[in-house]
Amino acid sequence: MITSYHVHSNYSDGESTVLEIVSAAAEQGLDEIGISDHLVYPKPGRHVSWSMSVDRLGSYFEELHNVQRVVGDRIKVRLGLECDYEPETVVLLADLLQRYPLDYTIGSVHFLGNFPIDESPEHWDNLKEEDRNNIVRGYWQRIRELAESRLFNIVGHMDLYKKFGWRPSIDLEAEISEALDAISAAGMVVEVNTAGLTKPAREIYPSKKILEMSQARDIPLIITADAHKASGLTDGYQIAKDLLDSLGYSRNVIFSSRTPKMLSGI
Ligand SMILES: [Zn+2]
Ligand SMILES: [Zn+2]
């Protein structure tokens, strides 16, 4: 069973249309394809160029349904979104999401307050070491809150702050443990996101250590590519699979109507 559940189309910041992505997935022999365009709930005074706007959600889901009809039973199309968890907007986001026929949601943290975690290395370069460490500590508290909100199925690229190659110089094991305890209690899945391999981080999100901590809590894992074009749906897949093999992990998970279903074997 091969799936690709973290995929961006041109409804947000991807290059390809939904039909191009789904057709490519079917040609490559994937069993399921999930489209998960960005939805950052709007806040006054902030424009997020890479997010779909709320008023396009209706046509987004309509298009996913239409493309499923076009490809028929060649491949199963799953309806997803990658949404930002922010405490100020979570109630409004929850109200919005329950109006749509989602199979799953990816919850991510791209902002801590107004600080963009993964936008550009300059944002990090301009900070003192202590301030960077504090941002990462706050990031893990935010991941814990994300899980406690019970609004998401998959937690996205869990140590995204390493994207530009920098890593915290303080011990955050307690904060990470608390976040993972909340993820486990919420019945969420952790993604093994290969996008970090081609960034200065040169590593899958999250690190092997965090994956081991997830496994100790029996949290299900899912390999994703965070693809932004139809040709990248399984980028890094074998590297991720080798990593999971080395951890002795051999399960898979699919989603329907926001309910995970565990399968044996990757
Ligand atoms: Zn993301
Ligand atoms: Zn993404």
**Cα(157) to centroid(ligand 2), Å:** 8
Identify whether 63 is part of a domain: no
The rounded percent of the chain whose pLDDT value lies above 90 is 97
Question: What average pLDDT does the chain have?
Answer: 97
Domain of residue 213, CATH code: 3.20.20.140
Residue 166's identity, in one-letter code, is: W
Identify whether 119 is part of a domain: yes
Identify whether 16 is part of a domain: no
Q: How many folded domains does the chain comprise?
A: 1
Identify whether 232 is part of a domain: yes
Summarize pLDDT for 200-257 with one digit per residue, the tens. 999 999 999 999 999 999 999 999 999 999 999 999 999 999 999 999 999 999 999 9
> Has residue 9 got a pLDDT over 80?
yes
Mean pLDDT, residues 32-40: 98
**Cα(82) to centroid(ligand 1), Å:** 7
Identify whether 71 is part of a domain: no
Rounded distance between C-alpha atoms, residue 143 and residue 107, angstroms: 9
Summarize pLDDT for 196-213 with one digit per residue, the tens. 999 999 999 999 999 999
First to last CA, the chain: 6
Among the bound ligands, name the one nearest to the CA of residue 109. 1
**Cα(85) to centroid(ligand 1), Å:** 11
**Cα(73) to centroid(ligand 2), Å:** 26
Give the pLDDT band of residue 265 (cuts 50, 70, 90). confident
The pLDDT assigned to 181 comes to 98
DSSP state of 16: S
Q: Which domain holds residue 169?
A: 41-53+83-264
> Has residue 266 got a pLDDT over 90?
no
**Cα(69) to centroid(ligand 2), Å:** 25
Identify whether 95 is part of a domain: yes
The pLDDT assigned to 212 comes to 98
**Cα(54) to centroid(ligand 1), Å:** 17
Q: Which long-range contacts (CB under 8 A, 24 or more apart) does 85-91 make?
A: 85/109, 85/142, 85/145, 85/146, 85/149, 85/151, 85/152, 86/41, 86/43, 86/111, 87/145, 88/43, 89/41, 89/42, 89/43, 90/149, 90/151
Q: What backbone phi and psi angles, to 5 degrees, belong to 175?
A: -65, -40
**Cα(6) to centroid(ligand 2), Å:** 6
The pLDDT assigned to 139 comes to 98
Outline where 28-80 has alpha helix (H). 57-71
Identify whether 150 is part of a domain: yes
pTM of the model: 0.97
Summarize pLDDT for 118-154 with one digit per residue, the tens. 999 999 999 999 999 999 999 999 999 999 999 999 9
Rounded distance between C-alpha atoms, residue 234 and residue 250, angstroms: 18
**Cα(169) to centroid(ligand 2), Å:** 26
